[in-house]
Amino acid sequence: MPTRCARLNITASEIKRGLWRLRRQNCNWGDPTPRSLQICVVDIQKTKSILLLLDPTGFPPSIATTHPRLTHVHPSTPIHTTGRLLATASFDASTAVWAQSGSTNEWECVAVVEGHENEVKSCAWSPSGSLLATCGRDKSVWIWEVQPGHDFECVAVLNGHTQDVKQVVWHPAEDALVSTSYDDSIKVWTEDEGGDDWSCAQTLTKEEGGHTSTVWCASFEPEPSFEQPGASGGTKRRRLATCSDDRTIAIWRVDDSRPLTLRLEIDAKFPCGHDRPALSVSWGRCGLIAEGGGDDSVRLFAPPLAHGGLEGGGGGGSTSGNGDSLGDGFEGRAWREVGRVESAHSESGAALNGHEDEVNCVAWHPTDPRCLATASDDGTVRIWSVHSCAST
Amino acid sequence: MLSFLGRGRGGEEPEPSSQPMETSDVSLADAERVTLRCEAVLEGHGAEEVSVARVWHCAWDPTGKTLATCSSDKTCRIWAKSAAAGNTWVTVAELEGVHSRTVRQAAWSPCGAFNRSITPTAAVSPSSQSPLFFPR
């Protein structure tokens, strides 16, 4: 087994409450295959160790431990997951955390995290698994730190949204949180330099090219693939998709070069193709964005084919006469709808296996790039395989 | 290409169907058209209720072997493919009795193992390898 080395630059300021939290950019994973590295929190006071886990694309997960002051990690070794946690956000104002017992399908509720005044709408684990974010109807976003013994300590209550917060989503590799709201805005939350507090790093409204109605959902691109026009060195950036009651999907370029000040910048905004709210988006490993809609349909969007001719700056390159309601020249970079499952009730050709009511959620499979799951008000969940059609 | 769920469907030929001709040569992102073929319909939420229970959310676990779904029926269900049931999707666990209203969303922790009280010396077991854990 080849030796993989990771360089860990750990500073004393990263010790918090007996827990170490490392950031991905502090690690140089000497692996030719680009895979992101996840670092788990361990009670360093007790174990003097750091656990490194490859992300799900590298499953089965590898694990290595090292003394914190050593700079090399030894060959990774497969581990057997002894259990896993699932958080569920409920309208009963609580978020429950469930643990699996061993390899059986016995699950038990190990914690009920309470703090929100009323309906909890969304919950999400940070990429390291050390933080849990929740949001809800009370307009707030809470961040909880996982402590030993399934104890959840609130480390931040983030106020700023003026309406319901619909969803929270973590950046796939950084401790940066995105929230979407009924107040039509998207907010980015990051930890302060000292690591003691969280604050809003950015608010994206229609002024920034964003949405004009409720933002229902956000989904990060799984791997960075976007080349910034004019950028040198071929550095690839990640993007974020958001969808809205305004019947559009927006694409944002993510500048995560400085982790404490993650920035989003509008890249494209295009109609979702139907006249009902766009309720859910998921960015797949295949490069397609799936959208679930209030018209009961599931739609797949592919990136624009032409990559050349992007103007720097204003981007006024309108190549079609459509979409002028969106303005600002974004329509030149509109994504293409390449596949669709119509509603089972569609008058223009009902799909045999289409959903019979609103599609609340779309979710690409984490490793199979062709597999998509959808959940609907019709009471069903459907699993789809996606195939490209021969062009000739 | 990563196989589907590690086993099961990975190497199988697509079933004959009346769908347009499909090819795997074109990457999905470059394709002019793609089709979605329904592989499974998971039904079970709200089975004990009079009216249809909405399914609000679904979330794959990080390995992709199981899917968590949550519903207005106040439960979260966990689904997996069952070899015993002809490789179909079945509910393997129903998380209930805690939430008193709609379960709106579910989220898997990215590394559940660590959250349990791991003893690193035990977790990183193979004794034949160089020491992976350095005692203080």
Determine which helix (DSSP H) or strand (DSSP E) holds A328, and give its type and residue range: none
Q: DSSP letters along A2-32, please?
A: PPP-EEE---GGGEETTEE---GGGEEE--S
- pLDDT of residue A34 exceeding 70, the answer is no
Segment 266-295 of chain A within 8 Å of chain B by CB: 284, 286-288
- What is the distance between the alpha carbons of residues A158 and A140, in angstroms, rounded to a whole number? 6
Q: What is the mean predicted confidence (pLDDT) over A197-210?
A: 95
Give yes or no for a contact between A272 and A248, defined as CB atoms under 8 angstroms apart. yes
pLDDT for res A230: 65
Confidence at A348, pLDDT banded by 50, 70, 90: confident
pLDDT for res A370: 95
Whether the CB of A375 is below 8 Å from some CB of chain B: the reply is yes
- What is the distance between the alpha carbons of residues A8 and A14, in angstroms, rounded to a whole number? 12
Which residue of A48, A287, A360 is in closest CB contact with B28?
A287
- What is the distance between the alpha carbons of residues B95 and A123, in angstroms, rounded to a whole number? 17
Q: SS3 for B42?
A: strand
Backbone φ, ψ for residue B30 (5° rounding): -95, -5
Whether the CB of A352 is below 8 Å from some CB of chain B: the reply is yes
Match 């979409």 to its residue by tokens.
Answer: A323
Beta-carbon separation of A386 and B24 below 8 A: no
- Report pTM: 0.75
- pLDDT of residue B113 exceeding 70, the answer is no
- pLDDT of residue B136 exceeding 80, the answer is no
Backbone φ, ψ for residue B70 (5° rounding): -135, 155
Confidence at B130, pLDDT banded by 50, 70, 90: very low
Q: What is the mean predicted confidence (pLDDT) over A27-47?
A: 37
Beta-carbon separation of B117 and A149 below 8 A: yes
Among candidate residues A244, A282, A286, A285, the one with its CA nearest the CA of residue A266 = A244
Whether the CB of A381 is below 8 Å from some CB of chain B: the reply is yes
Confidence at A307, pLDDT banded by 50, 70, 90: low
Among candidate residues A149, A154, A155, the one with its CA nearest the CA of residue A110 = A149
Per-residue pLDDT reduced to its tens digit, B31-60 = 889 999 999 999 999 887 778 899 999 999
Count the neighbouring beta carbons within 10 Å of the beta carbon of residue A32.
7
- pLDDT of residue A58 exceeding 70, the answer is no
Q: Where are the domains of chain A?
A: 6-78, 82-172, 205-392
pLDDT for res A106: 86
Give the length of chain B: 136
Whether the CB of B81 is below 8 Å from some CB of chain A: the reply is no
Instruction: Assess whether the previous peptide bond of A224 is cis (omega < 30° from 0).
Output: no
- pLDDT of residue A222 exceeding 80, the answer is yes
Per-residue pLDDT reduced to its tens digit, A71-128 = 333 333 333 233 478 999 999 999 999 988 766 778 999 999 999 999 999 999 988 7
Whether the CB of A300 is below 8 Å from some CB of chain B: the reply is yes
Choice among A31-35, A190-194, A291-295, B78-82 with the minimum mean pLDDT: A31-35
* Strands of the sheet with A289-293, listed across from one edge: A278-283, A289-293, A298-302, A336-341
Segment 41-80 of chain B within 8 Å of chain A by CB: 41-43, 45-46, 52-64, 67-71, 74, 76, 78-79
Whether the CB of B87 is below 8 Å from some CB of chain A: the reply is no
Choice among A138-142, B23-27, B78-82 with the minimum mean pLDDT: B23-27
pLDDT for res B135: 25
Q: Which of A247-261, A315-329, B23-37, B104-118 has the highest mean pLDDT?
A: A247-261
pLDDT for res B51: 81
A to B CB pairs, distance under 8 Å: 341
Beta-carbon separation of A353 and B38 below 8 A: yes
Checking DSSP bridges between strand A371-376 and strand A359-364, what pairing results, if any?
A: antiparallel
- pLDDT of residue A301 exceeding 90, the answer is yes
Give yes or no for a contact between A85 and A108, defined as CB atoms under 8 angstroms apart. no
Q: What is the mean predicted confidence (pLDDT) over A263-276?
A: 94
Q: SS3 for A47?
A: helix
Beta-carbon separation of A96 and B95 below 8 A: yes
Report the mean per-residue pLDDT for chain B.
Answer: 71
* Strands of the sheet with A165-170, listed across from one edge: A165-170, A176-181, A186-191, A198-204
Match 């707030």 to its residue by tokens.
Answer: A140
Q: What is the mean predicted confidence (pLDDT) over A192-203?
A: 86
Beta-carbon separation of B28 and A288 below 8 A: yes
Q: Which of A15-29, A157-171, A182-196, A295-309 has the highest mean pLDDT?
A: A157-171
Confidence at A256, pLDDT banded by 50, 70, 90: confident
pLDDT for res A253: 94
Cβ-based neighbours of B30, under 8 Å, separated by 6 or more: A302, A305
pLDDT for res A229: 67
Report the mean per-residue pLDDT for chain A.
Answer: 76
Backbone φ, ψ for residue A14 (5° rounding): -85, 0
Beta-carbon separation of B134 and A48 below 8 A: yes
Per the model's pLDDT, the better-predicted residue between B25 and A369 turns out to be A369
CATH topology of domain A205-392: Methylamine Dehydrogenase; Chain H (2.130.10)
Per-residue pLDDT reduced to its tens digit, B99-110 = 999 999 999 987
